Structure 1
Amino acid sequence: MSWDDAFWVGLRETPAMSRTRAALPIVEDDATLRSLLEAAEVPPLLAAVAYATGDRSILRNEFVPDPNAILDPNGGLSPQAQAEARDLAAAALGRYRDAGCPPPATPSHDDLRPLLEFVVGGSAEDDYLPLFEEELGIAGEDLRAPGWRKEELAPDRPFRVVVIGAGMSGLLAAHRLGQAGIPYVVLEKDEDVGGTWLENSYPGCRVDVSNHFYSYSFAQRDDWPQHFSTRDVLLDYFRRCADEFGVRDHIRFRTEVTRATWDEDRQVWVLQVRGPEGEETLEANAIVSAVGQLNRPSFPDIPGRDTFAGPSFHSARWDHGVDLAGKRVAVIGTGASAVQFVPPIADEAAEVLVFQRTPPWLLPTPDYHDDVSEEQMWLFRHVPGYASWYRFWLFWRNCEGLLPLVTVDPDWEPKDESVSAGNEMVRQMLLGYLQAEFGDHPELLEAVTPHYPPAAKRVIRDNGIWARTLTRDDVSLITEAITEITPAGVRTADGVEHAVDVIIYGTGFQASKFLTPMEVVGRGGVELHEHWKGDARAYLGITVPGYPNLFCLYGPNTNIVINGSIIYFSECEVRYVLDALRLLLEGGYGSLDPKPEVHDAYNERIDAGNLTRAWGVSTVNSWYRNETGRSAQNWPFSLLEYWQQTRRVNPDDYVLR
């Protein structure tokens, strides 16, 4: 295959995807309408009805959500207050129905402010309002689109971008590049789009962020079948996005970048790639790395791992050719993936032995496997703006309000199990859940109880299935340390050899090894991984000094623990990348390279910030830290701050040539 002009096929403006669609008319009678509203969460319901009908009188002070009840979907309102609020909403929607369901007027900034302030539980700071309006997107506008096109800034300048990876972030970057009219190609090592949602096909795989939030802000669905979708549903979503964004023709599948070298004289990246037709070379003015953090499986360093005589595999590379029926199966690990796949394989295998190093905290989520009810689906489709306000309500509840609960109180002692009064409150709540789930099994309860602060490791959503699985007669939880893998099974520190037929590793990913295994050679011939020396850092998690025009998505310190969705971060990052490209094109520059002093000061602040959070001070083993012990993954501050820092590139932060 030739990397000539014909390769960069399909260049066109990416079609705009509608964020919202017109609400279906309300035809139900008063009694039916009122019954349907029982499924609504009150704060977004009242805001949506006020928006749709123009009746602000229903936004009464007694219905304002309690900011301290951030975990309550109804904002801490009493059952009586909820019923009264739904009565008022039903009456207003009845009048709206009788008036013929007129489309709501496009709200102004001043119109939206009281509605937004109502939902967030009081007066909103001015800094937050622009972010809130973007997240709400009530008018259906894509407020994060580039807003410019290359043909306007530099019509005669050749400029090409390579995007590495066609997962969630890569598709987003491609979409924005298409909107800006910049020629690009996406190189994807797999045979289809989807990234982690393509590669992880283990039984029970699903997202742990509500889908109304874990989806592009500008490409919403009102027909998610479940609140937390399965892998297959998510993969279908990203496949549909690839098609509707018009980016699939730009993707070269089964093509992997092995090396990228910066040519200082010509101000271009020279990439060595391996594809179906062998080794090839191409050049690009900029690279967007969208390879993610959770794409390379991590196997434990256990002696004898290669000696096991039976089938063994990692959950991220599930071997569907292995029949587990009637088998004795060992599962190593009790992290997020294992908690999802152990229950379904327990229904199939004869016996499952679960080897646990550190128990996870479980977050009670009763609707984790539930379908979206018909009543909720009706709300999304018939009440104008309810889907947007519901998504915004999820955003707010999963946004800044939870950060104080993981913030370290320097005077709090001891810090080994909690880091503050708020964190201890969360610990007691989660302990209560474990006691309710495992109370009839005291030995098991002791084994599954964590002894580290909540949020120091990833918290796992649970609807009771973990306890139901571990208390089965054919499932055993083993907490003795593994000393070796033998041809017959797993030997533990107590000398017992546990004979098994199959071993499944649920041991996570090489999250801190960013951009591996490709080599990236920057200015002066310095290879990026040698530069990092196992401790990856980047300015805003996006750019690295000495590697001009290289942009990372989901890079160092852009993982979130309790506040937000990774898609939110990707949208912020991609907007920043597009603004950097605008700066290059508009100014006629060949390269943009972050100043070392800016990069270093930023990372010093990130490190200090992480030490104020539970995950930064706890010594528990976690993928949140790299091999040096530093938190190279997590963002320690508010979502607002990252949004503010990535809205626009500050030219003073960079050397432009």
Structure 2
Amino acid sequence: MPRSLAVDHVIVGAGFAGIAAAIKLDEDGERDVVVLEKGHDVGGTWRDNTYPGAACDVPSQLYSFSFAPNPDWSMSFSPQPEIQAYIERVARESGVLERFRFDTEVTAATWDGATQRWHVTARGPEGEQTYVSRTLITGTGALSEPKLPEIEGIDGFTGELFHSAQWDADADLAGKRVAVIGTGASAIQIVPKLQEQVAHLDLYQRTAPYVMPRHDRTYSRLERAALRHVPGLQKLYRTAIYWGRETYVPGFTWNPALAMPAQKMALKNLADAVADPDLRAALTPDFQIGCKRILISNTYYPAVASDNVELVTDGIARIDGNAILTRDGTRREVDVLVVATGFATTDLPIAHLVTGRTGETLAERWTESGMAAYKGTTVPEFPNLFTIVGPNTGLGHSSMVFIIESQVAYLRDAIRTMRAQGLGAVEPTEQATSDWNDDLHRRMRRTVWNSGGCASWYLDEHGRNTTLWPRTTFTFRRLLARFDAEQYVLSPEHTTTPTQEVVSA
């Protein structure tokens, strides 16, 4: 029989979000915590994305915890192995790793109003177990579930096939015919690496992205020593990068014309690297910069212009055996198919597993209107649920770690309030949630994401942008600086609480 274990807090996910929540709760004395992670280690996205060339497109001084600075980044934009090593080190040195349960996948989470507890069922190495918890904190993020394209015949492909987020490190690509589907952030890092080793590469492009130069550089040994030993220097680096990134916001959210210098820089990057006018035309975006994610690379365009790469812009009709057939009737045989088509960002897998007080799952609540939360963190009908990197918290210009730390500060204050006032449940009102999202989507109408002339993974099936935050990050932090209990339904704690450990029937 599966056991039921009573804990105060269950955190789902061991990436940046889950680690930040565990560490900060520990600082508050909230140590009755369990972190459930389906993977074998911490890291989340950075553990899973091990494809060739994987690196961050936000400077590392900013893409790291404010409370755990790292003076030893080798480059201004760090590669995946360094980021993963950083996450592992922070988790290890924090002293909270003993609360993590790896290779453990959450299969259901249901609110019990009688006891004011979440019942979180998870399957791990020792079988199935249910955790009965005061709060449920999800930190699974939007880039956790790889998305395969809906192409006829893809399941019957007879060669090797893998998603960029599930890279087969044992695959020998040397001298092979390889196809890459997609031209997003992962693809532009993968393509230059593959071009160097494969016999031929077909790159299937649906929409040409804007690609800015990557102003990367290696930190010298002297500079790293200064970052380690000179008081305030690393904070100065971080602050300068932060405010530099915030200058992009008006061009995204207020007046797209302000982004024209960046658009010209991206087009110059293309013109400098691609001499062939036909290829250059095919690689030129037909929408305003910022409407889709802006990419950075110095090697992508030269790789696409290489003799062993063919850019394919005709739509894929189907896959037949080891060949890809495009709508113009061309058949291209390949040995290896790399799918770089992104993630399920507007239909979060965790939402299908979480059932609130009305018996509906999060996914069912969001079916009609799309994802929506109060302050991107809490949802009516789901008491004591805190979603880190929830709806409309994503960024197109800066570090998600900043957003994560802002949300963690908010949930910490919520838990302090619950402790201080003897509350058993907190749930945002429908009015507060509606007002928040009405204002958010009113602001969204004039952003480049809605008016820039493109279709992107930012938009859901209703055409609503449920992914991005349409204001500055410092505004987000200010709005989440305290837990605003007046916008919540507050329920006193029931006298009946679960025992520390019971055996369920």
Query: Is the pair's TM-score, using the shorter chain for normalization, greater than 0.5?
Result: yes
Q: Spell out the pairing of 1:345-356 with structure 2 (5 A cutoff).
A: 345-356=194-205
User: What does residue 300 of structure 1 align with?
Assistant: 149
Query: Are positions 1:205 and 2:54 aligned together?
Result: yes
Deviates more, 1:171-180 or 1:423-432: 423-432
Residue 265 of structure 1, aligned match among 88, 96, 114? 114
Query: Are positions 1:434 and 2:264 aligned together?
Result: no
8 A contact 1:456–1:616 mirrored in 2: yes
In 1, Cα distance between equivalents of 2:296 and 2:392: 23
In 2, Cα distance between equivalents of 1:383 and 1:525: 56
Query: Are positions 1:467 and 2:301 aligned together?
Result: yes
8 A contact 1:514–1:555 mirrored in 2: no
- Structure 1 residue 515 displacement after superposition: 4.2
Deviation string 1:436-461 (CA, Å, 9 cap, x unpaired) is 222x2111110111011111001111
User: What does residue 454 of structure 1 align with?
Assistant: 289
8 A contact 1:579–1:648 mirrored in 2: yes
In 2, Cα distance between equivalents of 1:361 and 1:288: 36
In 1, Cα distance between equivalents of 2:209 and 2:109: 39
In 2, Cα distance between equivalents of 1:378 and 1:192: 30
Q: Structure 2 vs 1, CA of residues 518 and 189 (structure 1 numbering), >3 Å: closer, same or farther?
A: farther
In 2, Cα distance between equivalents of 1:536 and 1:202: 30
Which letter maps to 2:371? A
Which letter maps to 1:634? L
Deviates more, 1:260-269 or 1:424-433: 424-433
Give unmatched runs, 5+ long, in structure 1.
6-158, 410-418
In 1, Cα distance between equivalents of 2:351 and 2:195: 35
Query: Are positions 1:520 and 2:335 aligned together?
Result: no
Which letter maps to 1:630? R
User: What does residue 24 of structure 2 align with?
Assistant: 176
In 1, Cα distance between equivalents of 2:15 and 2:243: 26
Query: Larger % of strand: which?
Result: 2
Q: Structure 2 vs 1, CA of residues 407 and 176 (structure 1 numbering), >3 Å: closer, same or farther?
A: closer
* RCO higher in structure (CA 8 A, sep ≥6): 2
Q: Spell out the pairing of 1:485-634 with structure 2 (5 A cutoff).
A: 485-516=319-350, 518-533=352-367, 535-562=370-397, 564-634=398-468
Q: Spell out the pairing of 1:103-502 with structure 2 (5 A cutoff).
A: 160-182=8-30, 183-367=32-216, 370-399=217-246, 401-409=247-255, 419-420=256-257, 422-438=258-274, 440-463=275-298, 465-502=299-336
Which letter maps to 2:61? H
Deviation string 1:572-613 (CA, Å, 9 cap, x unpaired) is 000000101111111001000000000011001111111121
User: What does residue 502 of structure 2 align with?
Assistant: none
- Structure 1 residue 276 displacement after superposition: 1.4
Deviation string 1:15-40 (CA, Å, 9 cap, x unpaired) is xxxxxxxxxxxxxxxxxxxxxxxxxx
Query: Larger % of helix: which?
Result: 1
8 A contact 2:59–2:76 mirrored in 1: yes
In 1, Cα distance between equivalents of 2:214 and 2:344: 28
TM-score by length of 2: 0.94
- Structure 1 residue 627 displacement after superposition: 1.5
Secondary structure of 2:424's match? coil
In 2, Cα distance between equivalents of 1:633 and 1:595: 22
- Structure 1 residue 3 displacement after superposition: 4.8
Deviation string 1:398-453 (CA, Å, 9 cap, x unpaired) is 12x222222455xxxxxxxxx43x23333223222221222x21111101110111
In 2, Cα distance between equivalents of 1:406 and 1:289: 28
8 A contact 2:145–2:349 mirrored in 1: no
Q: Structure 2 vs 1, CA of residues 466 and 302 (structure 1 numbering), >3 Å: closer, same or farther?
A: same
Which letter maps to 1:429? M
- Structure 1 residue 366 displacement after superposition: 3.2
Give unmatched runs, 5+ long, in structure 2.
492-505
In 2, Cα distance between equivalents of 1:4 and 1:203: 41
- Structure 1 residue 2 displacement after superposition: 4.8
In 2, Cα distance between equivalents of 1:267 and 1:527: 17
In 2, Cα distance between equivalents of 1:337 and 1:507: 9
8 A contact 1:258–1:517 mirrored in 2: no
- The two structures, once aligned, show a CA RMSD in angstroms of 1.5
Aligned-residue identity in percent = 38
In 1, Cα distance between equivalents of 2:190 and 2:351: 28
